[in-house]
Structure 1
Amino acid sequence: MTSIDPRPGTSVLPARASVPQRPLARRTLDPRTAVVILLAASITIMAPGGVWFVPAALVVGLLLALSEGAYRRALGLPLAAGLAAAVTYLLPLAVRSPVVGLFAVMAGFTLRLVAVGGIAAHLINTISPPRLTAALRAARIPSVFTVSGAVMLRFVPTIVAEAQAVRDAMRLRGLGGVAAMLRHPVQSIEYFTVPLMASSLRAAEDLSASALLRGLGSQTRPTAMHPPRFGLADAVAGSVVMLLAAATVLWRSAR
Structure 2
Amino acid sequence: MGGSVGVRCPSISSVPDWPDVFDVRSLVFTVVTLDALVLAALPRRIDLLALAVLMLLLLAYRLWRQLLALVALAVVLLGAAWLLRLGSGPVVGALGIAVLYLWRYSLAGAFGWFLITRVRPTEFMAAMTRMRIPQFLAVPIAVVLRFVPTVLTEGRAIIDAMRMRGLLGGPLSVLRHPIRTAEYLVIPMLAGAVRAGDELTASALCRGFGSPGRRTTIVQLHFGVADVALMLVTVAVAAYGFGVGLR
Partner residue, 2:64? 71
Question: 1: CA distance between counterparts of 2:238 and 2:158?
Answer: 42
Q: Is 1:178 matched up with 2:171?
A: yes
Relative to 1, partners in 2 of residues 1:236 and 1:91: Cα closer, same or farther, differing over 3 Å? Answer: same
Is 2:108 the counterpart of 1:116?
yes
Equivalent position of 2:5 in the other structure: none
Say whether residues 1:30 and 2:23 are aligned partners.
Answer: yes
Q: Does 2:148 correspond to 1:156?
A: yes
| Alpha-carbon distance between aligned partners in 1 of 2:206 and 2:102, rounded to the nearest angstrom | 39
TM-score (norm: length of structure 2): 0.81
What are the equivalent positions in structure 2 for 1:101-250 lying under 5 Å apart?
Answer: 104-172=96-164, 173-248=166-241
Residue 51 of structure 1 and its aligned partner are, at CA, apart by: 3.7
1:227, CA displacement in angstroms? 4.2
Aligned partners of 2:33, 2:53: CA distance in 1, in Å?
A: 12
Distance 1:234 1:101, change over 3 A: same
Q: Does the 8 A contact of 2:58 with 2:66 survive in 1?
A: yes
Whether the 8 Å contact between 1:52 and 1:252 is mirrored in structure 2 is no
Per the alignment, residue 4 of structure 2 pairs with: none
Deviations 1:117-137 (A, max 9, x none): 343333233321111001011
Measure how far apart 1:208 and its partner are. 1.1
> Cα offset for 1:146?
1.1
Quote how far apart the aligned CAs of 1:195 are: 1.4
* Change beyond 3 A, Cα 1:240–1:196: same
Higher mean C-alpha deviation, range 243-252 or range 179-188: 243-252
Q: 1:47 aligns with which of 40, 47, 51?
A: 40
Tell me, in whole angstroms, the C-alpha distance in 1 between the residues paired with 2:185 and 2:90. 34
Q: Is the 8 A contact 1:56 1:245 kept in 2?
A: no
User: In 1, distance between residues paired with 2:174 and 2:93?
Assistant: 26
Q: Distance in 2 between matches of 1:103 and 1:157?
A: 33
Unaligned runs of 5+ in 2: 1-16
**Match for residue 83 of structure 1?**
76
Residue 18 of structure 1: aligned partner = none
Q: CA deviation at 1:196?
A: 1.0
Larger Rg: 1
* 1:73 partner amino acid: Q
C-alpha distance in structure 2 between counterparts of 1:226 and 1:206, whole Å: 22
For residue 62 of structure 1, what is the aligned residue in structure 2?
A: 55
Q: 1:166 Cα shift?
A: 1.7
- For CA contacts below 8 A with separation 6 or more, give which structure has more relative contact order: 2
Stretch deviating more after TM superposition (152-161 or 69-78): 69-78
The equivalent residue for 1:3 is: none
Matched residues, number? 230
Give per-residue Cα distances to partners, 1:78-100, cap 9 Å, x unaligned.
Answer: 211221222334236458574x6
TM-score by length of 1: 0.79
